[in-house]
Chains A and B, each alone.
Chain A
């Protein structure tokens, strides 16, 4: 009998595939066949049993329902795992079979004494064989099966905004990324929110910073939720990374406009990150190290629930500290951030679930002077921001009705210290509570109803003191401010055969010491499936956002809203100025309500080979007639189109070409007349092409190419002053643009799957061809000439992660 013939026989006998195990049906078929297999030759009488459990190599996930076979081995065979196991050369004399339970455990009974082969062949995994002696083994066997394809480690991110029995209605703006894509998109270093920046509708941020400009909206009008509650800031201070790791997220939903009525207090876009529950199949964890930081995570069962703990600290300051030690007479920047997440999840009786979460983030950025005569460096200026949040989420179902009740408590602090200036600012603390209660109820097979309420209650206090200088006296500006934002929302979802219609509204009441406001926001979404391939969707709605403007002095330069900031001779894009320039707040304006109208119209067609083609037109009109003179305006009009050709990740390849054409204008009022001028967020063209290919032996290579319009900025025409004390003379606001931006990022991933560990490493090379994209201009100290542009050079970023 030939070897192939023998293998075929064995395959039939043990009901597993021999050569081609690519299809998932094989696993089921193999089990079914195994049960029908002809009875093997009876073994020698014996009472031996062999217990063990079967897990996936690397992450040690229990493999459930997998057949484990035992048959006699060559007495001279070497004990242990057989490398590159091939089908047996001849039909075994007898065969025993067991199936793993829900913990991956199995027991092979009725085994004769002697040297045995334990073999597992199942879909998606490499054939594995171990040689063991029976009854010599005293401990249960622990077997690790290596996957054929690392895609088994991939968790597909679902488009789930709120966990509910009522499936959320689609939105024309909905974008979904799988976790695999999030992890491997070149240029984003696995950061979830930075991955979004490669999608249409999101502007390219200067210097690759974490800035979410969704469809031309100011980042301050969009909200990021972690779980069911917002976070005060989504990116760490340096803008490099999200305030929580991608590994602790189960779900990521990105809606650049036209989000549903469950969410309020935002007039731009919405991003929700859903924390994932810790695993219950054993204790797991990881440690990682990359350019930005170092961190660790642990998870596992505890009682009937599970826990997940993750912490991270940046080490960006370490090389800068070394450099500072070597260059005593240089100014030093010391950025630093840390975050921590703790989640506890526990199923309760009657299909109920409890989630307890803790989030913490801390950011510091210090500028130090050169070493003085006393050998000390003084802080020129320093900012410290942090938030800590505890939240509970109680979910459950009563009959067909599901409910959610979730409170969260948060403490935020923000402090700016300007030693060499005349400000001395106590931490601005804010205490907040957010609440959400929601009921989802299907009225019929086609109609469902969502009703809910949310609240955002907060109190903040702060003190800004100016120290005396040149004869002035100390001034102090203590402020306290409370706000109560309440929302009631409802949504009716009708699902027809080819039409889904969602009509909802949100009533909001906003109270603060400085005013009150009310809003009723109707929102409507619809999607029609035209045949098997075409889908048309549309949405329109009103979005209200409470706004308490702040009078504040920007540390780097001019007051907010007066054009480009100038840090000495450095002219940065307004996007950075308006969102990263630390400010010293001194007063708040009265509460007012921003109102924004969103409309989207999209069409999508699904082509062969998992290729999708989408086109969406959008418009957002945000009006803020109450903008104050020293405020940075956020109102304006943005409209345009998004185009996406996407190859979905199925086996080895994913990628897309995204193009956004957008016009963004910001508003100003002269009396009652609204005037629209160019917005700092006007990125007219933004093309992003992403492709990533999995290669054999767990290699993966990808590239991202971006081509986008230069951002508007306010040019400096000359200088005013003498000696070395100059003030820039600026041209008309936003009257010039930085040059066109183009950049190629290349990423290589390699993963080593060991028995109990996975080692994953990546090299992300930003700006692979080292093109000098000008992101800021540097002027001579007297502003007589532009002496250069600042750009991000080629930047290789290496990271390694060990999963235990």
Chain B
């Protein structure tokens, strides 16, 4: 198990209290409401001090940048019926981190903050330029971006932002508010800024994970078959099929980073599973590395949405990754949902 900080205590305690005393809470892997899985980002325009993008290997996009690099941002939101479109364009903020989650109104535009001194400012759209003024948090040089995402049937993204800028008396149900760190790198690129030791080893930039697929071993009355599913694919299964799902990903894509002492280190890839149906037998799996997931199709379920999230670091701290969504359609059962 890898959890960080307070979450490493709070979540187990909540589960323990709930399990010991009272009604059980639904498993945390179950998608019951729209949920922000992650914020994807890639460098789309190199800054003056950055290596030109054309030098990157074909097909790979950088996920960390140097001052002046422009990054494109994309929220990945899924719900009980698959990926979710926003209710109004998502709003993007650049911040130095949020203490309480609420903002003081009015929020100024980042264009009005050339000195990059504002705690929070609003970006014009889903892009952000890596600020010149960087600072360190626990050895990682970063700023943050925040997305405010109104979901269908709930407040619009603008209404959500208004509520987040109020006194906290209005419900934020239907508003997704997420944060991702803008990580500076590669580390040796920070030497000119005085943010890295001159002896910092030269490393490749970290790239977004690619080529993610899902290997499904489907065991049913008609035997065993194997199917490799790509993102967004709909796979037909039979009722009562037993399924073993295993991600296909190149472990060589593991992130290499520089520790506080200047040494290079890597983390493993973390595979996190989500679903809209009660299919997993474990209580929870958030932050738990589950290489392979085995389950059976529950009775009276017309389909199962299965989400896989691959992270190159433990969750909770600057983790970036990729994701995949596969729908398992049950033959002979009708209905739109699980």
CB distance from B318 to the nearest CB of A (A): 10
Interface of B is mostly: loop
Contacts of A566 in B (CB 8 A): 10
Binary interface encoding of chain A residues 322-354 relative to chain B, with 1 for a CB under 8 A from any of its CBs, else 0: 000000011111000000000000000000000
- Name the CB-closest residue of A to B170: A717
Partner of A570, one of B14, B139, B168: B14
Contact A787–B26 (Cβ < 8 Å): yes
CB distance from B324 to the nearest CB of A (A): 14
Contact B9–A418 (Cβ < 8 Å): yes
Stretch at the interface among B172-180, B189-197, B293-301: B172-180
Contact A717–B178 (Cβ < 8 Å): no
Contact A722–B178 (Cβ < 8 Å): yes
Contact B138–A333 (Cβ < 8 Å): no
CB distance from B250 to the nearest CB of A (A): 22
Q: Please tell me if A471 contacts chain B, counting CB pairs below 8 Å.
A: yes
Contact B272–A381 (Cβ < 8 Å): no
Contact A790–B102 (Cβ < 8 Å): no
Q: Please tell me if A727 contacts chain B, counting CB pairs below 8 Å.
A: yes
Partner of B16, one of A331, A422, A732: A331
Report how many residues on chain B are interfacial, defined by Cβ distance under 8 Å: 69
Contacts of A727 in B (CB 8 A): 101
Contact B17–A567 (Cβ < 8 Å): yes
Partner of A380, one of B12, B139, B174: B12
What CA separation (Å) do A32 and B283 show in the bound complex?
Answer: 79
What CA separation (Å) do A320 and B3 show in the bound complex?
Answer: 25
What CA separation (Å) do A724 and B4 show in the bound complex?
Answer: 12
Q: A729-B101, A780-B26 given as contacts; is B259 within 8 A of A471 (CB)?
A: yes
Contacts of B9 in A (CB 8 A): 380-381, 418, 420-421, 555-556
In chain A between 744 and 788, which residues have their CB closer than 8 angstroms to a CB of chain B?
778, 780-782, 784-785, 787-788
Binary interface encoding of chain B residues 262-299 relative to chain A, with 1 for a CB under 8 A from any of its CBs, else 0: 00000000001000000000111011000000000000
Contact A369–B12 (Cβ < 8 Å): yes
CB distance from B68 to the nearest CB of A (A): 26
What CA separation (Å) do A720 and B14 show in the bound complex?
Answer: 18
Q: Please tell me if A522 contacts chain B, counting CB pairs below 8 Å.
A: no
What CA separation (Å) do A732 and B168 show in the bound complex?
Answer: 6
Q: Please tell me if A673 contacts chain B, counting CB pairs below 8 Å.
A: no
What CA separation (Å) do A800 and B28 show in the bound complex?
Answer: 43
In chain A between 281 and 323, which residues have their CB closer than 8 angstroms to a CB of chain B?
320
Stretch at the interface among B33-41, B112-120, B225-233, B328-336: B33-41
Partner of A381, one of B13, B169, B284: B13
Q: Please tell me if A730 contacts chain B, counting CB pairs below 8 Å.
A: yes
What CA separation (Å) do A778 and B17 show in the bound complex?
Answer: 11
Binary interface encoding of chain B residues 16-60 relative to chain A, with 1 for a CB under 8 A from any of its CBs, else 0: 111111110110110011111111000000000000000000000
Contact B33–A780 (Cβ < 8 Å): yes
What CA separation (Å) do A329 and B12 show in the bound complex?
Answer: 12
Contacts of B251 in A (CB 8 A): none
- Name the CB-closest residue of B to A553: B6
Q: Please tell me if B309 contacts chain A, counting CB pairs below 8 Å.
A: yes
Q: Please tell me if A444 contacts chain B, counting CB pairs below 8 Å.
A: no
- Name the CB-closest residue of A to B177: A720
Q: Which of A723, A781, A784 has the most CB of B within 10 A?
A: A723
Q: Please tell me if A170 contacts chain B, counting CB pairs below 8 Å.
A: no
Q: Please tell me if A557 contacts chain B, counting CB pairs below 8 Å.
A: yes
Q: Please tell me if B315 contacts chain A, counting CB pairs below 8 Å.
A: yes
CB distance from B146 to the nearest CB of A (A): 9
Q: A568-B15, A570-B18, A784-B33 given as contacts; is B283 within 8 A of A722 (CB)?
A: no
What CA separation (Å) do A488 and B21 show in the bound complex?
Answer: 48
Q: Please tell me if B135 contacts chain A, counting CB pairs below 8 Å.
A: no
Q: Please tell me if A569 contacts chain B, counting CB pairs below 8 Å.
A: yes
- Name the CB-closest residue of A to B23: A788
Q: A331-B12, A333-B20, A567-B13 given as contacts; is B173 within 8 A of A718 (CB)?
A: yes
Q: Please tell me if A76 contacts chain B, counting CB pairs below 8 Å.
A: no
Contacts of B168 in A (CB 8 A): 717, 729-732
Q: Please tell me if B167 contacts chain A, counting CB pairs below 8 Å.
A: yes
Contacts of A568 in B (CB 8 A): 10-15
- Name the CB-closest residue of B to A572: B17
CB distance from B31 to the nearest CB of A (A): 9
Q: Please tell me if B5 contacts chain A, counting CB pairs below 8 Å.
A: yes
Binary interface encoding of chain B residues 69-81 relative to chain A, with 1 for a CB under 8 A from any of its CBs, else 0: 0000000000000
Binary interface encoding of chain B residues 136-180 relative to chain A, with 1 for a CB under 8 A from any of its CBs, else 0: 001100000000000000000000000110011111111101111
Contacts of B317 in A (CB 8 A): 470
Binary interface encoding of chain A residues 373-392 relative to chain B, with 1 for a CB under 8 A from any of its CBs, else 0: 00000001100000000000
- Name the CB-closest residue of B to A784: B33
Q: Please tell me if A719 contacts chain B, counting CB pairs below 8 Å.
A: yes
Contact A556–B283 (Cβ < 8 Å): no
Contacts of A781 in B (CB 8 A): 25, 28, 286
Contacts of A367 in B (CB 8 A): 12-13, 16
Q: Please tell me if B7 contacts chain A, counting CB pairs below 8 Å.
A: yes
Contacts of B10 in A (CB 8 A): 556-557, 566-568
Contacts of B1 in A (CB 8 A): 369, 420
Contacts of B104 in A (CB 8 A): none
Contact B16–A735 (Cβ < 8 Å): no
- Name the CB-closest residue of A to B16: A331
What CA separation (Å) do A782 and B79 show in the bound complex?
Answer: 12
Contact B180–A722 (Cβ < 8 Å): yes
Contacts of B15 in A (CB 8 A): 331, 568
What CA separation (Å) do A330 and B98 show in the bound complex?
Answer: 33
Contact A729–B18 (Cβ < 8 Å): no
Q: Please tell me if A500 contacts chain B, counting CB pairs below 8 Å.
A: no
CB distance from A464 to the nearest CB of B (A): 15
Contacts of A80 in B (CB 8 A): none
Contact B33–A470 (Cβ < 8 Å): no
What CA separation (Å) do A732 and B169 show in the bound complex?
Answer: 6
What CA separation (Å) do A778 and B172 show in the bound complex?
Answer: 16
Contacts of B164 in A (CB 8 A): 729
Report 29 cross-chain contacts, Cβ distance below 8 Å, ordered by A residue: A331-B13, A332-B20, A367-B13, A380-B8, A380-B9, A418-B9, A420-B1, A471-B259, A567-B14, A568-B13, A569-B25, A717-B170, A718-B172, A720-B98, A720-B179, A721-B179, A722-B36, A722-B38, A723-B286, A723-B309, A723-B315, A724-B29, A725-B315, A780-B32, A780-B33, A784-B33, A785-B173, A787-B25, A787-B26
The 7 A-B residue pairs with the shortest CB-CB distance, nearest first, are A718-B172, A568-B14, A724-B286, A331-B16, A471-B260, A471-B139, A722-B178
